[in-house]
Structure formats: structure tokens, C-alpha cells
Amino acid sequence: MENNRRKSKKGTVFFLILFTILILLLGGVVFVWSLGGEQKIIVAQKLSDTITKATRFLPLEGDLKKEMEVANDIFQEISKVDDVSRRYLLLLQNNMELRPGGGFLGQYVVVVVKNGRIEKIYFEDANLLDQRIRVKVTPPYPLTRKLQIKKWKFRDSNFSPDFPENVKQAKRFFGYSGRNNKFDGVFAINATVLNHLLAITGPITLKGGYTYNSENAISKLEEQVEKPYLFNENLNTQNRKWIMKRLTEALKDRLVSFKNIPQLIDFAREELSSKNVQLNFQNPDLQKKVAEVKWSGEVNKDWDGDFLMFVDANLGALKSDFFVKRSIDYNVDLSVDPPLAIVDYKYDHQATRGDWRTSDYHSYLRLYIPDGSKFLKRTMVTYPVVRKEFNKTYFGVYLDAVMGRVTTAHFEYNLPTTIKDDYRLLIQKQSGLESLPVHVHLKDKDGKEYDYTGEVKNELLLEFRN
């Protein structure tokens, strides 16, 4: 069944290619795509000028202004007229099957841009690329233990919560397949952006009565283009491509309108800010700017205060993440020595029955905390493997969340004593999750108590002052 499932991954997010390009250029390329000849360059320059003027003269908030400036730098880089071909690798991830880097890597796209024009777009199922890899690389142990995977390959390359690390691995396996792995940029995009995009365009109905909207697009496409092939691998996969082609054309027709530019820029900013899109550039100066606005998908390696990040790897080989809602309840007591941390990560599995798409949720979970933290207790998870990574300590455990119930992964540990001085907490969210509800309760070293309730979209910084 596992092999059949992986073969069935073809095409689920094929239609996102056009939208991905839209995201990368933040409102530009999708409009110039339909134009011909020199018009493409002219329009690109006008759009770039519009972004530049906006950052100079609009009363923007500090972060937004910086983001607009970086967006313009990205646009200028990709649309340069200098007779140089630039290659970009797009990783299409289905976050209904969550992986540490955002979602299961089902397809990839190679885009070649020269003089502001898209010269070539090549897309392929990740499984087909993996079939060309002959080098044997030992997989991360959870993949071997739970999925019996004996060779680590491209489709499982995003096993880190740190996108630059995933880029490194993706390039590595791309090269092992015999193809050129030199790229000017590598970008990851999660499938749920389609639902979000349809919230702007409105529902799209294709001939035959298929209607896609912001609530059902991903699940309906999985029903139409994956389920039949999951149970019958002998079906001709070419027969289902008409859905993707028609939806792509319909989406393009909706988007090729200049009046949508402000909405689409806001939309792109939201997807980048929530880590549904992650960017990595070969140009070090541009990459530094992308990291500054938190579009790089990096785990913060320099933070010296309290830190919290949960990272799931769905190893159940199903789309159960569609039904699983998560939340954090974090309690810190600085009045004791060493400081005590108690954290509950709650999984509300809202599916009522199992089917081809879901079952009980099976995850390899990593909890990243300050380096030097000492494990004390755990509940509802296996005994942790304790490792260091990204200048952090992490606990690696296996967890099973039952359908129709709330399962709580409970951890207790001691924080380093230095955490007491000028207490600050940084919570980072895994790519592929929607906003993550969080409640923090703090007892400071003098016994005073504080509470915070909110949500994490990308990362959340809390400072508690007397």
C-alpha cells in the first residue's frame, strides 16, 4: 500500500505552479505571463516601479515597509535584463501530510527565467526523480522505523524544520539523480495556499459541475485525483490531468487583472509571513534580507533566551493533518532552582472515522528547547531521544493521537538557570501549520505570576516585565 500511495502523489498540486510564480514575484509574473515579446519586460518594470514608489511614499509600518523593500529586491533579481538564465527549484509540499519542512514533497518544478521572461517550466513527480537515484543514503531513523524506508531520497528530503538545511538536502538528492543541481533559488510552497487563494478569487466551477472554493479545494482534488489511483495503480495517470489543466486555466483567467494587485500582494505577504511559502536564494545579500523579514524558514540559532518549537513528522502515510488541530499550554516557574518548565502540546483529532484519507495520527515529534535543558517527565509519548541541533536541545518522541479525542503530549524539564536573567520567550511555529493557539503562564523569580493567550503565525516573542 505504501508504494501505491507514493505513486499516487502525481499531480495533486500541479495547478499551483502558476500560483507559485505569483508568490515568488509578489504580484507580478502572473500578469506578464500572458503577454508576449517585449511587453513582458515593460510590464515587469512598471510593477517594480509601483512597489518601489509604495515603499517610499506610503505611511507603512516598519515591518511592512521592510517586507515591501525585500519583495522589490526579489522582483529585481528575478526580472533582470542581463542575458543571464536563472534557475529556480520549487518544492510543492502537501501539508495535509505534515513533514518537518512543511508537508510531504510530492512534486517539484524547475523554472528558468531570462531577461524578465519565463523561458522554461519543467515539473515532475518527486517519485520519478527518486527512481533515478542509485546512491544509497541512510534515512533519518524515524523513516526507517515507521515507514520501512531503506534509502533516503528527494521526496523525504525536508525532514528538518530548518528550510536552509532542507534546501541543502534537496539539492544533494537532485544531483544524485543525474541532473544539474545548481539553482539561483529554492522555494517551498504548501498546498493549503490554494484554499487561501480561492478566498480571493471566489469559487471556480469547471465543466462537469466540479466547484472548488476556499473550504474544499485541497480535499476535493485529493478525492478526484488521488483516491482512484491509490487503489488501482494500473489506471492511466494521464487521464486525470484534464482537471489540473482546466483549473489552472480558470485560475489564470481570474488572476490576470491588474485590479487584483493590492489584494494579491497582501495575500502573498500573509503566506510568506505564516511560513506557507519559504524562500532561499544563492545570492547571499538577498538571502540575508529574506532572513531579516523571516521569509527564510530558518530555526533561530542565535536566540539565548527561553525557546519553544514543536515539530511533527506525520508517519502515518495519510492526510490526517487536515483533521488535527494543535495548541500549546506552557507553564514556567522561575521561583525554583533550576527553573521548571511544563508544556502540553494538544492534538485535537476531529475525524470521527477512518477512511482512505485518515486514521489515528502517528507522528515523530521533536520538541526544541534551550540548550542545556534537562528532561524530567513525559506522558502520552515514548521515552525521548535527547539530542542537540541548531544550538538547542531537542526531545524526539513517537506519539499516537486517536480519532475523535484530544491527545496531550506532556513534557516536564528543567531550564538552564541563566534563563532567569531578563526572561524572554521565543516560540517558533513549524511550516505547514495554520496559526497555532498558545497560552503561557509565568511565575517569575519573585513569585509574581503572568499570563498570555494568543497565537503563533510564524514566531512569537514574549518579554515579561515587572
Determine the pLDDT at residue 35. 35
User: In the structure, what pLDDT confidence band is assigned to residue 398 with cuts at 50, 70 and 90?
Assistant: very high
pLDDT of residue 43 exceeding 70 = no
Cα dihedral angle (20, 263, 65, 186), rounded to 10 degrees? 0
- Residue 392, classed as helix, strand or coil, is strand
- Residue 169: CB atoms within 10 A of its CB come to 18
Could you tell me if residue 287 is left (phi over 0), alpha (psi between -120 and 50 degrees) or otherwise beta?
alpha
Model confidence over 289-339: pLDDT tens digits?
Answer: 999 999 999 999 999 999 999 999 999 988 999 999 999 999 999 999 999
- Residue 116, classed as helix, strand or coil, is coil
Percent above pLDDT 90 for the chain = 56
The mean per-residue pLDDT over the stretch 175-203 comes to 90
Please indicate whether residue 248 or residue 148 has the higher confidence score (pLDDT): 148
What domains appear along the chain, each with residue ranges and CATH number?
A: 2-292 (no CATH), 306-463 (2.60.40)
- Residue 428, classed as helix, strand or coil, is strand
Burial class (CB in 10 A: 0-12, 13-18, 19+), 419: buried
The distance of Cα 296 from the centroid of its chain, to the nearest Å, equals 11
**Cis geometry, peptide bond prior to residue 338 (ω within 30 degrees of 0):** yes
Mean residue pLDDT across the chain: 83
Determine the pLDDT at residue 210. 80
Please indicate whether residue 3 or residue 85 has the higher confidence score (pLDDT): 85
Dihedral sign of CA atoms 232, 132, 181, 135 in order: positive
pLDDT of residue 11 exceeding 80 = no
Q: Note the pTM of the prediction, 2 decimals.
A: 0.87
Helices (H), 58-98: 62-78
Please indicate whether residue 38 or residue 217 has the higher confidence score (pLDDT): 217
Return phi, psi of residue 56, to 5°: -85, -35
Model confidence over 74-113: pLDDT tens digits?
Answer: 878 887 889 999 999 989 898 999 999 999 998 888 888 8
CA distance 296 to 77: 16
The mean per-residue pLDDT over the stretch 375-380 comes to 98
